[in-house]
A and B are shown apart, each in its own frame.
Chain A
């Protein structure tokens, strides 16, 4: 047989995916026409007629997008109010965090070591950003901002909320009435409060309740607020997973002489985690984006830093849209990577 008869892989793919039946042929054609109609204009705006250099006058007369706003303001958008000369520190922190994420995606054989490594990484990032030793200037956490703040809040709150959520999920399905009632109360209470209110409580009310000689860093307070908030949601997700384990397994494990905590740790938890992984990742993605709410308590993460950099500058304020597209791209990369990674993980296990 020759090549003309056997369809190549590509044409086969086309036939299966795009031209399988009449309906999909129609949809494919419609889509092609629509893209042919829209794409040139979109590309013109995005690239060919866009202005990339930081020149506000050129931007004002340009037909396309003004990426110059990013060229001009990227330091403020990415690092917020962090002192300009010291911005290598947040830059380093972003690098370390991304590297750690990539490394821990590849190798996750030993969970306890991984957890310890992450604890050290987070502590190092915190200390590096804060400074105040070895010639590094002290930078208060109220001046941290932009991407490192978004990443630290997301990773920190997930890392803190996860163990708490496991305890709460077991607590809520516990046989002991007091523990069950307390866990239920916590979960229902927290889930009835919006995150903004939680942040407001953490940022403004909590310091009033502390005796005046103690003060807690605003970053830590807000991080704790998000952590407690996220824990309640994760606990409910996990509880669904716990309930999906058939009772027969528990009885079998108990009859083998395993202690209750061994049953939970070795039998229930691994299966529950696998069953709930998509929902967990869903929660992680949503908390990644919800960190943008910390702007209301005066911490300027990505979206807040964008507002800070543009709203007072009459030259660049008209190009808000491009600024928002820039941070949307950053958020998209984060969310997409998370969801792809969870799929890989699901396939492996």
Chain B
């Protein structure tokens, strides 16, 4: 359901003008960034320490990734990454300034220095990495575009969708991926395109389409919460695209880039070593060499990142290990009930992998 970069909320008439304006904005931002780069280099962490908060760009609302609750508190996987960063650098997971951003503002906000890190359910692609003046740090979630069908249609695999009506939201990468995939498979389909999310979903539930397509994680949320009876629908196991989600930082500050990368790695290694919020203190004293190193009980590896000894200890203490974060926000502890799938640890056949911390 990710929007194309040139797209504006829901008023079509603006979209052309807005798109070209956005290009201008982007170029101006990139230009201003190039001139101000030397000033920013290595300064992000200093700036964060001086301000006492991390400025974290999150999505305005995506179930399981970043969402504001009725009391104004933020929750989600993307949110927990920022909390871990705040705990590691500032010693307090609450010291985060949340900046909710729409798809069209997220890159300008990062480029202009308004935010320190973009933790926004953003797909890592070559064009973004190479031309937006940003660096993706490491993959925190492997998503992919999937399909939802009604069970009574008897469809159970993507190849059965030949000549089907497929509901999709216009202006999203999902629409483009869908077209590309079916052309490559030499299959025919009829796209039923809607401008907004609610309308396309309504059309699917009313039987206008045989299938509805968007990212698999969103499909899971829809299946659980927006169907009268989740048992009547099926999310197909296959996905037709790679959507690796990664935090991103501004170019020109390698030290900060390393910190964001290694805080995420520390959360993954913590799951490998079965470190949890509960057993952290005992493991710090009695754990194996890897654990002792991670928690700062052996060599001071934090110093190499410009942090203190207990950086990883505090990050894990604040949000738990990667598996805990997943279960709390997306898995069994959440309304979404997503299975780990490709987001299992590499040791369990998944894709979540972190280089060694030593």
Contacts and interface: CB of A to CB of B under 8 A. Distances in A.
Contacts of B9: 295-296
Contact of B335 (A194, A309, A311, A315): A315
A208 B68 contact: no
B37 to A, nearest CB: 13
Given A75-B70, A204-B108, A314 B100 contact: no
Contact of A314 (B14, B28, B108, B335): B335
Interface stretch (A76-84, A161-169, A273-281): A76-84
Nearest to B105: A298
A298 B60 CA distance: 9
A76 B60 CA distance: 13
A197 interface: yes
A194 B62 CA distance: 29
B192 interface: no
A204 B29 contact: yes
Given A196-B8, A204-B112, A311-B60, A317 B225 contact: yes
Contacts of A197: 17-18, 21
B59 interface: yes
Point out which of A84, A295, A317 has the most chain B C-beta atoms below 10 A from its C-beta.
Answer: A317
A82 B68 CA distance: 12
Nearest to B24: A205
Contacts of A322: none
A196 B100 contact: no
Point out which of A73, A200, A310 has the most chain B C-beta atoms below 10 A from its C-beta.
Answer: A200
Interface residues of A, number: 36
A17 interface: no
B17 A298 contact: no
A307 B18 contact: no
Contact of A296 (B17, B104, B224): B104
A297 B105 contact: yes
Contacts of A300: 100
A114 interface: no
A133 B28 CA distance: 37
A309 B68 contact: yes
A175 to B, nearest CB: 37
Contact of A76 (B8, B59, B68): B68
Interface string B331-356: 00001100000000000000000000
Contacts of A142: 99
A314 B67 CA distance: 10
A307 B9 CA distance: 11
A146 to B, nearest CB: 11
Nearest to A207: B112
Interface string B188-203: 0000000000100000
A289 to B, nearest CB: 13
B72 A81 contact: yes
A196 to B, nearest CB: 6
A1 to B, nearest CB: 62
A196 B14 contact: yes
Contacts of A204: 25, 29, 108, 112
A100 B101 CA distance: 34
A311 B72 contact: no
Contacts of B22: 200
B226 interface: yes
Contact of A81 (B65, B100, B105, B108): B100
B70 A205 contact: no
A314 B61 contact: no
B66 interface: yes
B63 A314 contact: yes
Interface string B101-140: 1101100110010000000000000000000000000000
Contacts of B186: none
B28 A194 contact: no
Interface in A176-213: 194, 196-197, 200, 204-205, 207-208, 212
B61 A296 contact: no
B76 interface: yes
A313 B61 contact: yes
Contacts of B109: 298
A294 B62 CA distance: 21
B241 interface: no
A313 B225 CA distance: 10
Given A208-B28, A208-B29, A308 B68 contact: yes
Interface string B54-83: 000001111111111111100010000000
B303 interface: no
A298 B9 CA distance: 13
Contacts of B279: none
A208 B61 contact: no
Contacts of B99: 142, 298
Contact of B72 (A72, A83, A315): A83
A341 interface: no
Given A81-B100, A196-B18, A204-B29, A313 B67 contact: yes
A130 interface: no
Given A197-B18, A197-B21, A298-B101, A317 B63 contact: yes
A72 B71 CA distance: 10
14 contacts: A84-B71, A197-B21, A296-B8, A298-B105, A300-B100, A308-B100, A311-B60, A311-B61, A312-B60, A312-B66, A312-B76, A313-B61, A314-B224, A314-B335
Interface of A: 60, 72-73, 75-76, 81-84, 142, 194, 196-197, 200, 204-205, 207-208, 212, 295-298, 300, 307-315, 317-318, 320
Interface of B: 8-9, 14, 17-18, 21-22, 25, 28-29, 32, 36, 59-72, 76, 98-102, 104-105, 108-109, 112, 198, 221, 224-226, 228, 335-336
Question: What 4 pairs across the A-B complex have the smallest Cβ distances?
Answer: A312-B67, A312-B61, A311-B61, A314-B225
